[in-house]
Structure 1
Amino acid sequence: MTTIRIDGLHKSYRGFEAVHDVGFTAAPGRVVGLLGPNGAGKSTTLQVLLGLTRADAGTATFDGRRYADLEHPAQVVGALLDAGGLHPGRTGRDHLRVQAAASRLPADRVAAALSAVGMTPAADRRVRTYSLGMRQRLGIATALLGRPRVLVLDEPANGLDPAGTRWLRELLRAFADDGGTVLLASHVLAEVAQVADDLVVIGQGRVVAAGPLSELVTDRSLEDVYLDLTAATEGVR
């Protein structure tokens, strides 16, 4: 079991402060919904967490270790930030084979990951023929290859049909119930409300609310609470 801990995170780009003193925890057995408007700092936070960009200050760790310091990162963290970067000429199966080899994972993980996301029937088709929802499923299969203890997902429901959305919800719930840690960035508030245990709301680069969903959303909808919280950050920098 692995805990994500983000503490005092600051990141600026050419004088623009993308995140300011962001801090929160995602614990094992919990699905944490990371919410915020476009440009609020969600993607920057995830990029720092996954070692894709360097923070100006603060830390983002998995059980106290930065992503770059993990000996076998694919076995600790499975991530999906953008399903659009897939090689269009490869089959889904070949994509996973390449990813498994790069992460020094057993080849038999490929078939298991394809089965887990329902992509076995389409595994030998070229990625260029996939719908957006199929690309998302392949991206999630890539995240699952290493049998990680943590999932970090950015808009994983993008392009999924209603059946796919339900499947994703059940997958994330089962992963957390088995002791895994899920950090889920999404704009689909209705889905977050159904699967998340905890919420972190970011507005204008700052955490404006964090805690159990049951405490933050009581007598109103998540949409109403979210809109009120993010509206209150207008002009804040």
Structure 2
Amino acid sequence: MPAIQITGLRKSYGGFDAVRDVDLTVEPGRVVGLLGPNGAGKTTTLHVLLGLAAPTAGQALVQGRRHGDLDDPARTVGALLDAGGLHPGRTGRDHLRILTLAAGLPAGRVDDVLEIVGMTPAADRRVRTYSLGMRQRLGLAAALLGDPGVLVLDEPANGLDPAGMRWLREMLRSFADGGGAVLLASHVLAEVTQVADDVVVLGQGRVITAGPLDELVRDASLEDVYLDLTATTAGVR
């Protein structure tokens, strides 16, 4: 069974199709890059997958079920959508403790994930003192709390320095090599090509091209397609 299966997905807002006819599969052990410029429909696709928006047509499943039907969502799928939505007065540790309590997870997972993302030294500082990169790491820690088999990440490298980006690539590769599945949305071509096994390119809500990364690179099509797409959608939000 695919870890993620999106089929014929369409999401409309007031007659405008934010995404339409999107098909996407993420198998265990794979990192799939969802690549597209701003306004391409990446975040909308992730919102439907995570049950934050209802599809107009089609379906988006995690482990064969809609997110709202999962018995234990925190232990099934971890997500990072917006590292900015953090209470500035809480410490990083307290933020994770609250999430752990709400999800019924073991309290010991807080220290585990802080160590995984390299945030243990800053765990007892207020979030207001964190850089964007530190907030991203805290968001990743939250995604990992339930030790899920699936990760859904929207622009996780935002704010990370070169060392942080290298760490992120290594962490995602290790997660996938251990049997996990990753759906990684980004507008940065280089970010995706350095970690993804497969790539799905979205443009104006539609799939432009998709396939294994090595095939797209070998055919010398991915960079040309993406540069053309970026040029034609410049200024579109």
State the partner residue of 1:112: 112
Q: Which runs of 4+ in 1 moved over 2 A?
A: 219-225, 228-234
- Secondary structure, in 3 states, of the residue corresponding to 2:194? helix
In 2: Cα distance, 1:133 partner to 1:38 partner: 20
Q: Is 1:188 aligned to residue 188 of structure 2? A: yes
State the partner residue of 2:103: 103
State the partner residue of 1:155: 155
Over 3 Å counting, the alpha-carbon distance change for 1:37 and 1:179 in structure 2 is same
Shift of 1:191: 2.0
State the partner residue of 2:23: 23
Deviations 1:74-109 (A, max 9, x none): 101000000000000000000000000011100000
Matches within 5 A, 1:39-188: 39-188=39-188
Deviations 1:168-187 (A, max 9, x none): 00000000000000000012
Gaps of 5+ in 2: none
* CA-based RMSD: 1.7
Amino acid paired to 1:171: M
In 1: Cα distance, 2:16 partner to 2:164 partner: 37
- Secondary structure, in 3 states, of the residue corresponding to 2:202? strand
Shift of 1:34: 0.1
In 2: Cα distance, 1:221 partner to 1:58 partner: 28
TM-score by length of 1: 0.95
TM-score by length of 2: 0.95
Q: How many residues align?
A: 234
Shift of 1:230: 5.6
Q: Is the 8 A contact 2:33 2:183 kept in 1?
A: yes
Deviations 1:185-231 (A, max 9, x none): 01221121111000001111111111101111225484333223566
Q: Is the 8 A contact 2:2 2:25 kept in 1?
A: no
Deviations 1:2-48 (A, max 9, x none): 61000011111111110111111011100000011111111100000
In 2: Cα distance, 1:209 partner to 1:232 partner: 16
Identity of paired residues, percent?
75
Q: Is the 8 A contact 1:208 1:230 kept in 2?
A: no
Shift of 1:63: 2.3
Gaps of 5+ in 1: none
In 2: Cα distance, 1:187 partner to 1:41 partner: 11
State the partner residue of 1:200: 200
Deviations 1:107-157 (A, max 9, x none): 000000000000000000000000000000000000000000000000000
